[in-house]
Chains A and B, each alone.
With several copies, the nearest count.
Chain A
């Protein structure tokens, strides 16, 4: 689960990290009022709160000037104008796709005047099976490039979840980042806060980028991103409450409610598969035969009529879809029951595009018979003998 920048920074602050003051606003007037509180004789920074990254280098759509999702505003008037523009125009970044995303929430942030920027992150190292804390004295946008070209500049420390970040680990990282003895305790606090939030709240990623050394010698979290383990939300009601469903894909939310794992893609061939691995493999074979998958959809281990109906509705609500491939390996679940579920779904939903079904496993023969009997009633429903044939057929029918 993702959260907004301001939520991530507030979690880190609660764990002991220093952050610049900010006020969450949802209108130009609120932004102007926040300017009065935070400008302190200088300016403020207005920052769009959307889940997509690359806000600073992004662009408001249908907006005449160059303006992204982050803007320094030296005056009250500009603060209000920028806030209003952001709330009115969609924001396109390298992570949003060309249509951009709407901006519903902003923060107005005290200007921290960064003098130097650092990078901190905590993430699971799958190979080691341990959380890894990473730090780099060169923060900001180009961290991936630094990692590729100068991996030795990325300092790394494993953190055992049962002990947390040990004092000497934080101290060592702080000194090796080049901080002075007077700065080190501030950095240690932030490192411990990062590790604490990651471990105590079951994060999968916690990133501070940049960590800023300000002109007046303070060290603050300028921007932060934290993703959480969906599987652990049951024990973190405080985190689950931060979910902003408006930022998520409505089809994906609807799928999640039906216990379907659905991710919308750009192609034309819808997929309905049981199991994540088989679903990915099904997309692969569609592409192999010249098609483009419109989605990833895993209906889980078995297929119920209700699940199939909702799955078809979700797939078909994507206007790009010109054909559907159903690939189900009936293991413990019997194919004949699955076939009946598919027929029932066809009756309920109405198949406006060709639906190619490949069913294999327990009672597959009986299943094919059920589908054949429904052929008159559901003329777009086709069966295929095997996976390769099914993929080729759906690609052909969707042209």
Chain B
């Protein structure tokens, strides 16, 4: 089992003919993801060919056309920042229900507008933007993470669900899990932007309800109060083993938000408050990034 994506997920790439879109669609195809088409306005009717995989996909001018022709339900967005919000709304409007936005550098007010647009489309889930994507090991990779570091669950086996605001730090965590022999159910990078499409709380809920997930690893960062909210949710609702790591205990200064930032969050958004909240909620919190895998192991053994 897994959350959000599996071997049956039919995926398109928006921005498939761009350099990054081509490369990563190809990588996903090599991993085994069921990509069924791509969208680049003005290139409709042409055929895209994966440089390494050699696989061919139809290109469409609009997501609506792509959905009609291919039955896709998920989209990987590689559209550059200036057009990315529009591309996400186009996907949502066209019936795509899982949108994975890899694009980095989308203006934050664009994402505010996207989120408000999506309130009228409750069936649509957005992952990202500015994220590595989502992977259910062995079944479906939609994103830029290196596939080989992940370990699929054996049939009937449950795995670790991973939720992260970071990219390479997630790979580090997954690599540690794989080394410790802990397979992963699904790994989701929610992205580091101020307004993410999907929050840690929402993913905690999905993983909590997924029988294929045996434990959850949450990788957070300083800033905002998302981790505090995740801790509060977990304390009340989650009964699975929980582990976490918070990056930024040595916070880089100089990225202050003036008075207003502190007023609004009601706390500093600092690592200490996050770690305290998570520990109190029952998370095994890793002391260093080298011990994320071990923290999961501790959480799992503590339960037994």
Where the two chains meet, the residues of A that have a C-beta atom closer than 8 Å to any C-beta of B are 53, 95, 119, 121-127, 129-132, 134, 143-144, 147, 151, 154, 160-163, 166-169, 171-172, 175-176, 181, 184, 199, 202, 204-205, 207, 209, 225, 227, 229, 231-232, 234-235, 263, 265, 273-278, 280-288, 293, 296, 301, 329-332, 360-362, 386-388, 391
- Do the beta carbons of A301 and B250 come within 8 Å of each other? no
Closest 3 CB pairs of A and B: A277-B166, A275-B168, A168-B90
- Sample of 6 more A-B contacts, CB < 8 Å, known A277-B192, A329-B172, A330-B146: A95-B256, A134-B263, A160-B116, A171-B61, A277-B167, A361-B171
Flag whether B93 is at the interface (Cβ < 8 A): yes
Q: Which chain A residues lie closer than 8 Å to B219 at the CB level?
A: 277
Task: Report the Cα distance A386→B16, complex, angstroms.
Answer: 36
- Do the beta carbons of A280 and B247 come within 8 Å of each other? yes
Given contacts A175-B65, A285-B288, A387-B172, contact A227 B258 (CB under 8 A): yes
Q: Which chain B residues lie closer than 8 Å to A207 at the CB level?
A: 258-260
Flag whether B18 is at the interface (Cβ < 8 A): no
Q: Identify B112's interface contact among A131, A154, A184, A234, CB under 8 A.
A: A131
Flag whether B244 is at the interface (Cβ < 8 A): no
Flag whether B180 is at the interface (Cβ < 8 A): no
Flag whether B194 is at the interface (Cβ < 8 A): yes
- Do the beta carbons of A277 and B165 come within 8 Å of each other? yes
- Do the beta carbons of B252 and A263 come within 8 Å of each other? yes
- Do the beta carbons of B42 and A184 come within 8 Å of each other? yes
Task: Report the Cα distance A286→B108, complex, angstroms.
Answer: 32
Flag whether B27 is at the interface (Cβ < 8 A): yes
Task: Report the Cα distance A161→B250, complex, angstroms.
Answer: 34
Closest chain-B Cβ to A374's Cβ sits at a distance in Å of 24
Closest chain-B Cβ to A387's Cβ sits at a distance in Å of 4
Task: Report the Cα distance A171→B65, complex, angstroms.
Answer: 12
Using CB atoms, name the residue of chain A closest to B40. Answer: A181
Closest chain-A Cβ to B126's Cβ sits at a distance in Å of 12
Task: Report the Cα distance A301→B103, complex, angstroms.
Answer: 13
Using CB atoms, name the residue of chain A closest to B24. Answer: A332
Using CB atoms, name the residue of chain A closest to B117. Answer: A163
- Do the beta carbons of B41 and A134 come within 8 Å of each other? no
- Do the beta carbons of A172 and B144 come within 8 Å of each other? no
Q: Jot down 6 A-B pairs with beta carbons below 8 A, ordered by A.
A: A205-B260, A207-B259, A265-B253, A281-B289, A361-B171, A391-B290
Flag whether B154 is at the interface (Cβ < 8 A): no
Flag whether B51 is at the interface (Cβ < 8 A): no
- Do the beta carbons of A280 and B252 come within 8 Å of each other? yes
Task: Report the Cα distance A330→B288, complex, angstroms.
Answer: 20
Task: Report the Cα distance A224→B74, complex, angstroms.
Answer: 40
Given contacts A280-B221, A387-B172, contact A293 B250 (CB under 8 A): yes
Task: Report the Cα distance A264→B170, complex, angstroms.
Answer: 25
Closest chain-A Cβ to B111's Cβ sits at a distance in Å of 8
- Do the beta carbons of B263 and A144 come within 8 Å of each other? yes
- Do the beta carbons of B167 and A301 come within 8 Å of each other? yes
- Do the beta carbons of A275 and B166 come within 8 Å of each other? yes
Using CB atoms, name the residue of chain B closest to A130. Answer: B112
| Chain B residues numbered 255-304 whose CB sits less than 8 Å from any CB in chain A | 255-266, 287-291
Task: Report the Cα distance A169→B86, complex, angstroms.
Answer: 9
- Do the beta carbons of A144 and B262 come within 8 Å of each other? yes
Given contacts A232-B109, A329-B175, contact A168 B262 (CB under 8 A): no
- Do the beta carbons of B86 and A166 come within 8 Å of each other? yes
Using CB atoms, name the residue of chain B closest to A198. Answer: B109
Closest chain-A Cβ to B58's Cβ sits at a distance in Å of 15
Given contacts A134-B264, A151-B266, A168-B93, contact A276 B289 (CB under 8 A): no
Q: Which chain A residues lie closer than 8 Å to B61 at the CB level?
A: 171, 175, 181
Q: Which chain A residues lie closer than 8 Å to B262 at the CB level?
A: 144, 147
Q: Which chain B residues lie closer than 8 Å to A181 at the CB level?
A: 41-44, 61
Q: Which chain B residues lie closer than 8 Å to A143 at the CB level?
A: 259, 263
- Do the beta carbons of A277 and B252 come within 8 Å of each other? no
Flag whether B169 is at the interface (Cβ < 8 A): yes
- Do the beta carbons of A231 and B108 come within 8 Å of each other? yes
Using CB atoms, name the residue of chain B closest to A249. Answer: B254
Q: Which chain B residues lie closer than 8 Å to A151 at the CB level?
A: 266
Flag whether B245 is at the interface (Cβ < 8 A): yes
Q: Which chain A residues lie closer than 8 Å to B172 at the CB level?
A: 278, 281, 329, 360, 387
Q: Which chain A residues lie closer than 8 Å to B111 at the CB level?
A: 129
- Do the beta carbons of A168 and B168 come within 8 Å of each other? no
Task: Report the Cα distance A95→B76, complex, angstroms.
Answer: 42
Task: Report the Cα distance A303→B110, complex, angstroms.
Answer: 30
Flag whether B249 is at the interface (Cβ < 8 A): yes
| Chain B residues numbered 74-133 whose CB sits less than 8 Å from any CB in chain A | 81-83, 86-87, 89-90, 93, 105-113, 115-117
- Do the beta carbons of A282 and B289 come within 8 Å of each other? yes
